[in-house]
Structure 1
Amino acid sequence: MKTSKIAYKPVGLALGTLSGVIAGAAFKRTWKIFDGEGDAPGATDEDRTWRQILLAAAIQGAIFAVVRASVDRSGAVAIRRLTGTWPG
């Protein structure tokens, strides 16, 4: 196994956790802009409309994907700078 791949494993795990925290915080702030209420609806929230639930899910998914890709890419670039090879 390549050195860069081995070095990236713990970094990747830590970055995955970090991206989840960042994405969760970004989603909460974004949802307040869209709906004005504190908490986003869950799929089984009886008091919310289909529109609200599906909009919240779409926004959350988009934010998570963008944050995760950004954090993963940054980690890979950092590993390349440290080891000289891309962790692939």
Structure 2
Amino acid sequence: MGKLVYKPVGILLGVAAGGIAGVVFKQVWKRVAGDSDAPNATDEERGWAEILAAAALQGAIFALVKAAVDRGGAVGVKRLTGRWPT
């Protein structure tokens, strides 16, 4: 039952995590690089180091936010149902 309850919650939390991670990444990039736009892999005027650093930072932030949101969702489901979603 916990898995059935958690599945739609997990999907919604995943979408929310992606949005939150995007906002957090933009703010962190502004502070770290002093640039309001993060580079795209196809930006001709940006170098390899900058593009790869931006990608690594974005991936790390996304993974961190997703893990925090997933864990929070699982804890919430356990509080509501009494069972850990598996």
TM-score (norm 1): 0.96
In structure 2, C-alpha distance between the alignment counterparts of 1:80 and 1:28, rounded to whole Å: 33
Q: Identify unmatched segments of 5+ residues in structure 2.
A: none
TM-score (norm 2): 0.98
In structure 2, C-alpha distance between the alignment counterparts of 1:14 and 1:81, rounded to whole Å: 18
What amino acid does structure 2 have at the position aligned with 1:87?
A: P
What amino acid does structure 2 have at the position aligned with 1:18?
A: A
Q: Identify unmatched segments of 5+ residues in structure 1.
A: none
In structure 2, C-alpha distance between the alignment counterparts of 1:72 and 1:86, rounded to whole Å: 12
In structure 1, C-alpha distance between the alignment counterparts of 2:20 and 2:56, rounded to whole Å: 17
C-alpha offsets along residues 49-87 of structure 1, whole Å, 9 cap, x if unaligned?
A: 111101000100000000000000000000001111100
Match of 1:57 among 31, 38, 55: 55
In structure 2, C-alpha distance between the alignment counterparts of 1:31 and 1:81, rounded to whole Å: 36
In structure 1, C-alpha distance between the alignment counterparts of 2:83 and 2:14, rounded to whole Å: 21
Q: What displacement does 1:38 show?
A: 1.1
In the comparison of the two structures, how many residue pairs are matched?
86
Match of 1:27 among 13, 25, 28: 25
Counterpart secondary structure, 1:17:
helix
Tell me the residue number matched to 2:5.
7
What amino acid does structure 2 have at the position aligned with 1:16?
A: G
Tell me the residue number matched to 2:69.
71
In structure 2, C-alpha distance between the alignment counterparts of 1:81 and 1:35, rounded to whole Å: 41
What amino acid does structure 2 have at the position aligned with 1:43?
A: A
